[in-house]
Amino acid sequence: MNILIAPNSYKGSLTAFEAALAIEKGVKKIFPGAKTVKAPLADGGDGTMEIMVSATGGKIRTAKVTGPLNHKITAKYGVSGNGKTFFLEMAEASGLKLVPEKKRNPMLTTTRGVGELINIAMHDGARKIVLGIGGSATNDGGAGLAAALGYKLLNRNGKEIAGGGFGLVELDRIENIEILKKFKKLEIIVACDVNNLLCGNSGASRIFGPQKGAGPAMVEVLDKALLKYAKIIKRDLGVNVFGLKGGGAAGGLGAGLFAFTGARLQKGINIVMGVSNIEEKIKNADLVITGEGQIDTQTLFGKVPVGVALLAKKYRVPVLCLAGKIGDMNEKIYSAGISAIVPLVDGPVTLEFAMKNASALLTEATARTFMIIKKIKLRA
């Protein structure tokens, strides 16, 4: 049996590399002779940078940048083996993981550090930047990033606006727009895992604001601020971000990168799968195992399990999905090519227990499933 193990990270518990090892351990418990190939994946969220570095034989570096709460932090970034492509991850500079729960407030958190990472990459000779934008703590539309790149975001009095979503409320105009010219020789690809627009009912503020600390009243303020921001971008830069798919990703950073750097937004899973040569590995597999922390309706929009399943479906390879949690689910997940979904836990446990013991639970869930497969094979 040739088994391809291609999971995403299990957010807050396991990296994709750790998950792949735990799954392999479960397979080997039941089928010691099975041939396993580990190909950990990501979709633009946490872990994307490390997977891209590993796939290209690159190196990880560190730099001091401005964190989401406007204080200096150390962020990791990657450089490909040939030194021409830089892999950045917004979660390293402006991620939710960097903000204690009690301090989460998207009116204040900034994307300035992401802009600083881009400046570092450009200074070091990058010809291409791949930037994963999952896991953000921000809702500033990339205004902080723009300021770090040298744009002037000014209020009516000609003073620079404050950082965070609050600053957008007082934004009147954008100056230094000639800065966009310096990005013409640099290719920036944004690895995005959602298709949400910048504003409106499916926009950045309403869909993702609450998980970043925004209450209902704040969500309304932020959404109106992003709407005004989009109008000013169109007026001053001549760039339309209103209907941009993925523009609402990372609190509107998708739209900001498109407007201020000319970046192209692509599905993160497609970028990572291309670099990882996953299609060739699927061709040679009898079974693909994937998974992530939660499977729900959002899984259909560019997440790892469905990205893998759609490719496996092309070659009629069955796909087993191991999920930390099964949320509100759409039956289209199965028609996308996932053969079965197995939850990690086999009884009532606390979230704290599940996250703390995720590796062992993942191994045991894999072993349980393969015991069933073994019994079926024996009867056949």
> pLDDT of 105-145, one tens digit each?
999 999 999 999 999 999 999 999 999 998 899 999 999 99
Tokens 């902080």 locate to 144
What's the rounded mean pLDDT across residues 88-113?
A: 95
pLDDT average, residue stretch 153-157: 97
Is 237 inside a domain boundary?
A: yes
286 lies in some domain: no
SS3 334: helix
User: How far apart are the C-alpha atoms of 307 and 298, rounded to whole Å?
Assistant: 12
Q: What's the domain count of the chain?
A: 2
pLDDT at 195: 85
pLDDT tens digits along 219-255? 999 999 999 999 999 999 999 999 999 999 999 999 9
Tell me, what amino acid is at 3? Answer: I
pLDDT of residue 302: 72
Render pLDDT for 344-354 as a digit per residue (tens, 0 to 9).
998 888 988 99
Residue 378 banded pLDDT, cuts 50, 70, 90: low
User: Is 380's pLDDT higher than 60?
Assistant: no
In a domain, 336, yes or no: yes
Shared domain check, 326 and 192: no
The CA–CA distances, whole Å, from 38 to 25, 64, 177, 231 equal 11, 33, 45, 46
Q: Are residues 366 and 314 in the same domain?
A: yes
Of the listed ranges 64-68, 73-77, 306-310, 324-328, the least confidently predicted one is 324-328
Indicate if the pLDDT at residue 193 is higher than 80. no
Q: What angle, rounded to 10 degrees, do the helices at 268-276 and 48-55 form?
A: 20
Count the alpha carbons within 13 Å of 27 in the hemisphere toward its beta carbon.
23
| Residue ranges with strand state E in the chain | 2-5, 35-38, 59-66, 72-79, 85-89, 128-132, 152-154, 173-175, 187-192, 264-267, 287-295, 319-326, 340-343
Same domain, 261 and 352: no
Domain containing residue 368: 2-40+292-379
Which residues have C-beta within 8 Å of that of residue 221, sequence separation ≥ 6? 107, 165, 169
Tell me the one-letter amino acid at 89.
E
Mean pLDDT computed over every residue of the chain: 93
- Residue 280 domain-assigned (yes or no): no
- CATH classification at residue 168: 3.90.1510.10
Residue 285 lies in a domain: no
